[in-house]
Amino acid sequence: MIAALAFLTPLGRAREPDRTTFDWFPLVGALLGAAVGLVWWGANELWSPLVAATLAVAADVALTGALHVDGLADTADGVLPHLDRDRRLAVMAEPDVGAFGVTAVVLTLGLRIALLASVRPDVALTAALWCASRTLMAVVARAVPYARAGEGGLAAAFLGRAPLPVAVLGAALTTALCLLAPAIGRTLVAAVALALAGAAVTALARRRLGGFTGDVLGAAGLIGETVGLLVVAARG
Per-residue pLDDT tens for 136-146? 999 999 999 99
pLDDT at 6: 87
Give the span between the Cα atoms of 63 and 6, in whole angstroms.
Answer: 11
Half-sphere exposure of 105 (CA within 13 A, CB side): 19
9 in a domain, yes or no? no
| Count of C-beta atoms within a 10 Å radius of residue 88 | 23
Give the span between the Cα atoms of 193 and 155, in whole angstroms.
Answer: 26
| Torsion, CA 96, CA 98, CA 103, CA 106, rounded to 10 | 10
For residue range 117-132, what is the model confidence (pLDDT) as tens digits? 999 999 999 999 999 9
194 in a domain, yes or no? yes
Q: State which residues form the domain around 138.
A: 21-233
19 band by pLDDT with thresholds 50, 70 and 90: confident
For residue range 33-48, what is the model confidence (pLDDT) as tens digits? 999 999 999 999 999 9
133 in a domain, yes or no? yes
Query: 142 and 205 in contact (C-beta within 8 Å)?
Result: no
- From residue 174, how far is each of 13, 94, 95, 166 by CA, in Å? 27, 35, 34, 12
16 in a domain, yes or no? no
Give the span between the Cα atoms of 109 and 181, in whole angstroms.
Answer: 23
Give the span between the Cα atoms of 75 and 92, in whole angstroms.
Answer: 6
10 in a domain, yes or no? no
Tell me the average pLDDT of the chain: 93
Ordered alpha helix ranges (H), 64-98: 67-79, 85-93
- From residue 218, how far is each of 51, 74, 75, 97, 179 by CA, in Å? 25, 10, 9, 15, 26
12 in a domain, yes or no? no
188 in a domain, yes or no? yes
55 in a domain, yes or no? yes
How many domains does the structure of the chain reveal?
Answer: 1
